[in-house]
Structure 1
Amino acid sequence: MFKNAVLAEILKLKGSKIALPVILLPLISVLLGSGNFVANPHELVNGWYSLWTQVALFYGYFFYPIIISICCAYTMRLEKSNHNWNMMMTYPILPGAVILSKLIIISIISLIVQSFLVILYLTAGLLLGVKGGFPLDILNFSLCGLAASIAVAAVQLYLSMIVKSFALPIGICLGTCVLGLGLCVSGLWMLYPTSLLVKGFGALNQAALSPLEHILFFILCAVYILVFTGLAIRRLTKRDTATS
């Protein structure tokens, strides 16, 4: 049953234009970051780490969460059209499987985006002749970013579920990107998933999380995922889908 729900989500994305932001936004991030890196050789002197901060400057703050929010809004939009929610609930499938299958698909897309970004970043570094070996901290930043992106996805799926507009949840995500940056600068990075993303992704500085921060970081990601996924499942279970 659950496997079929995941396969159904994959089929719904076929023929969509989701691939466009998935490809373009990481590419734009690397191009802009590389341009900044080349334009400031005297300030950005820490090789691969400096290049990463410039790439993450655009990608981690805004582009990555926007990609996630677009994907979430799109998957929920399909269910809102032509009373698809009601049709789906007539099938022998649990509400939890519906929500979790969407979260899994968004997580897979996020993994693809992250992998694509790292490949582009590595390619840019080699083309620019960045000296030194490839730092493993970049993989750590990417893993933390992936975990935080799933937390962002859980929030955005819930927002896209309760808000009828396609664009409004994306706009809310853009606003929370600014909020997340402010919280992270203020040292309150644990208060919202977008601030977790900025912190874990190394977008503000070149320092990886400490061991204690790592533990707190992943616990908070899990809490956000569980809470907002639970809220979405509860709403789908309790509310009349025809009027939601």
Structure 2
Amino acid sequence: MRHLHTEFMKLRRSLSWPVVVLLPLIAVASGAIGTLSTEQGASEGWHTLWIRSIGFYGMALLPVGIAILAALVWRVEHRNGNWNALMSGASPTWCIVVGKAGVVAVLAGIMQVALLLTVIVFGTIVFGLPRFLPWEYFLSSILVIIACVPIAAIQSGLSMFIRSFAAPVAIALAATGISTVALLVGSTGAVVSPYALATYATQLGTSLVGGDNTSFDAASVSLASASLVIAVSALSTFLIMVVSTFALNRVDTRV
């Protein structure tokens, strides 16, 4: 917890917070505009607004947003000799790896909460939808947060070793595109990829929308789908952390 607190202290004036707020806002605003521009409008209520908001968000904005957050978290360490200070400190290597990945994961979780709250605000104020957002979207949001953890770990690892801000983000964009295509062609094994797992989790309980048809059938929010997300996320996060820690122990004191 001490390492997480230290990392968050470093982000007090970071651009991370605008990213956390603006990306969900862009996703939901785009979904709302798309809904308002169709003849059907929000014909299926909350379901329509949710799938129009979460579709592109899950296929691109979320993974790329996490990559941006990871790059921002590590940027301070790659400037003004901070890397040497970090590596020469008393903290064990694994604490550095876990602390950095942990703060990125927390920021990603906050970003998903921001999306959820933004959907509720738009649905209530803009569309005047009755009742409340269906419970399954709250459950799927929890699973999305869990699925974000391995992306946070791998992107933190990339930004740890790559000084460039843009390169890890470009890698995330390419990996997300490949993973999404794999899901579209029906490759269920694609969920072993952290990027595909996040996209899969965002679509639980709904479907991606392409015109009047769905691009692929999403799984329902069930014990099986939840167990899959949790198990794959836990295993991949553990492996990524081990590899990152080992690699950091092997490199010189400056990358």
Is the shorter-chain TM-score for this pair beyond 0.5, marking a shared fold? yes
8 Å contact 2:66–2:108 — kept in the other structure? yes
Q: 1:119 to 1:41 in 2, by over 3 A?
A: farther
Which amino acid in structure 2 is aligned with residue 229 of structure 1? M
Aligned-pair CA distance for 1:57: 1.6
Name the CA distance, whole Å, in 1 between partners of 2:71 and 2:249: 20
Unpaired stretches in structure 1, ≥5 consecutive residues: none
The residue number in structure 2 matching 1:221 is 233
Give the aligned length. Answer: 241
The residue number in structure 1 matching 2:211 is none
Which amino acid in structure 2 is aligned with residue 197 of structure 1? A
The residue number in structure 2 matching 1:169 is 168
Name the CA distance, whole Å, in 1 between partners of 2:177 and 2:37: 26
Secondary structure of the structure 2 residue equivalent to 1:40: coil
Name the CA distance, whole Å, in 2 between partners of 1:107 and 1:221: 12
8 Å contact 1:200–1:208 — kept in the other structure? no
* Residues 208-230 of structure 1, C-alpha deviations (whole Å, 9 max, x = no match): 24422321221111122111111
8 Å contact 2:146–2:229 — kept in the other structure? no
8 Å contact 1:183–1:191 — kept in the other structure? no
Is the counterpart of residue 212 in structure 1 residue 227 in structure 2? no
Trace 1:1-244 onto structure 2 (pairs within 5 A). 3=2, 5-42=3-40, 45-127=43-125, 128-188=127-187, 189-202=190-203, 204=208, 207-242=219-254, 244=255
Which amino acid in structure 2 is aligned with residue 233 of structure 1? T
CA RMSD, 1 decimal: 1.9
Unpaired stretches in structure 2, ≥5 consecutive residues: 209-216
Give me the identity figure in percent.
26
Which consecutive aligned stretches of 4+ in structure 1 deviate over 4 angstroms post-superposition? none
Which amino acid in structure 1 is aligned with residue 185 of structure 2? S
Aligned-pair CA distance for 1:27: 0.8
Aligned-pair CA distance for 1:152: 0.8
Name the CA distance, whole Å, in 1 between partners of 2:223 and 2:235: 19
Q: TM-score of the superposition, structure 2-length normalised? A: 0.87
8 Å contact 2:123–2:129 — kept in the other structure? yes
Which amino acid in structure 2 is aligned with residue 201 of structure 1? T
Which amino acid in structure 2 is aligned with residue 241 of structure 1? T
* Residues 68-89 of structure 1, C-alpha deviations (whole Å, 9 max, x = no match): 1111112222222233222122
* Residues 115-171 of structure 1, C-alpha deviations (whole Å, 9 max, x = no match): 111111011111202245421111122112111111111111111122231110001
Secondary structure of the structure 2 residue equivalent to 1:82: coil
Q: Which has the larger displacement, 59-68 or 201-210?
A: 201-210
Secondary structure of the structure 1 residue equivalent to 2:133: coil
Name the CA distance, whole Å, in 2 between partners of 1:145 and 1:217: 8
Q: 1:50 to 1:58 in 2, by over 3 A?
A: same
8 Å contact 1:176–1:194 — kept in the other structure? yes
Q: TM-score of the superposition, structure 1-length normalised? A: 0.91
Aligned-pair CA distance for 1:44: 5.6
8 Å contact 2:63–2:195 — kept in the other structure? yes
